[in-house]
Amino acid sequence: MNAPEFHAPGTLSHRKIRGAALIIAAAATLMLAFQVVGQWTHDSPFAGVIFWAEVAAEITVVVTIAMAAPLALREMRGRRQLATTAIEARRQVEMLLKMTDMLQSAMCYADANAVLRATAGQLLPGFGGALYVFNNSGDRLDLSIAWDWPEDSQPADTVSPSHCWALKRGKPHVNQAGPGALRCEHHDQSVVVFEIPMMARAEIYGLFNVQASGPDAEARLSGVAPLAGAIADAMSLALSNIALREKLRTQALRDPLTGLYNRRYMEDVLERYANLAKRNDSPLTAIMIDLDHFKRLNDEHGHALGDSVLSGVAAAIVGAIRPCDIACRYGGEELVVLLPDCALIEGVAKAEMIRARIESLSENYGTRITASFGVATISETSAKAGDLLADADAALYRAKQEGRNRVGTAPPRSSGVVGLNLAAAAE
């Protein structure tokens, strides 16, 4: 869509109007002069000449006004359009500044999505939008939020960086309609999509899409491209800040080698889970894990293999537990898993599953890898959070004494039984 044409001050139209004003002033001066002279030469033989000269001056004034009027009207329309454009530009700048200010308070992607949706709805009415952000592994982008897309042309849930021209080029890209157009695979053929890679600090953090449909879709997108770019720039900085905050939070809460939560975080969660278990009268199980002969493995095969084994064991544990469960590195080769709303017998079964998964890693590393386990539960074996880990650790010690590579359980609070029969528990 072409911008409305108007002539600003200093253009050809302005100069023509100024020239017309000079002509009108000169003609009016001549008319006044002819009237004065006519009074003095009323009976003179030149009276007729003076009369027609005055008429000619009047005609000149009328013709000049008729010619200048459209120019003046165009100039007025142009100035009004200029003022309207300036007001709209100021409104857009104010909204972008407000958006930037709000994004500084965004603590997570959900906050940033809400700010983007509210701002884009006002600055880009009539256009669909979508925001993609990289997943934790960085191998794909997941749809974070989308709005106002056609029902039959919804945006893809995921985008592969290798299939997106905007990401491959590191520049905005228009997915045009029609045959022969260079389009990304994840877009429907019926919509025109303007894609903007969201970059900050020389790194891409996401992808911003603006969608339009209809015969004039490309022209409409071209008209809002600068504004869409400004929105993407503001969001890029916000996404980089959120990513940095998440990275720092992860570093503060997780063990860098295994990716599991660290001991400090586990102790905080243990207290919360224990209080929740008491309030809901539900069980809370802790599994204490210790890798067997880990020092000997390090001495014989080196610390590099030892670190690799720890990472593999951590992955095996994470693959066996629920999203609500917490796995942490307690210290050295000791690991702890907290299982909320999990009874003792269920915790023993889970521990046996993890034990088998760890033992199966022996093939991958070319050496025997096993672990011993201790299981305790509030309130079957332990009264409170302070007792839970101590009871699980005592059960782990007994499993070590009994030959390693096995699951030991803390005795029930109502009896002095040393342990539970593992086979019976598994059944």
pLDDT of residue 135: 83
Residue 115 near residue 145 (C-beta atoms within 8 A) = no
Residue 392 near residue 374 (C-beta atoms within 8 A) = yes
* Extents of the domains making up the chain: 12-101, 125-253, 263-426
Token pair for 341: 């709303």
pLDDT of residue 288: 97
Task: Please spell the DSSP secondary structure of 327-374, one letter per residue.
Answer: EEEEETTEEEEEEET--HHHHHHHHHHHHHHHHTTHHHHTS---EEEE
pLDDT of residue 413: 83
Tell me which residues of the chain have a pLDDT lower than 50.
1-10, 416-427
pLDDT of residue 381: 93
* 3-state SS class at 194: strand
Distance CA 8, CA 191 (A): 37
Closest to 285 (Cα-Cα) out of 192, 347, 193: 347
Query: With respect to CATH, is domain 125-253 assigned 3.50.50.60?
Result: no
pLDDT of residue 2: 39
Residue 294 near residue 370 (C-beta atoms within 8 A) = no
What's the DSSP call for residue 254? B
> Could you tell me the pTM of the whole model?
0.56
pLDDT of residue 418: 40
pLDDT of residue 419: 44
Q: Which residues have C-beta within 8 Å of that of residue 286, sequence separation ≥ 6?
A: 270, 336, 337, 338, 339, 347, 375, 376, 377, 388, 389, 392
For the segment(s) 263-426, the CATH number from 3.30.390.30, 3.40.50.2000, 3.40.50.2300, 3.30.70.270 is 3.30.70.270
Residue 188 near residue 149 (C-beta atoms within 8 A) = no
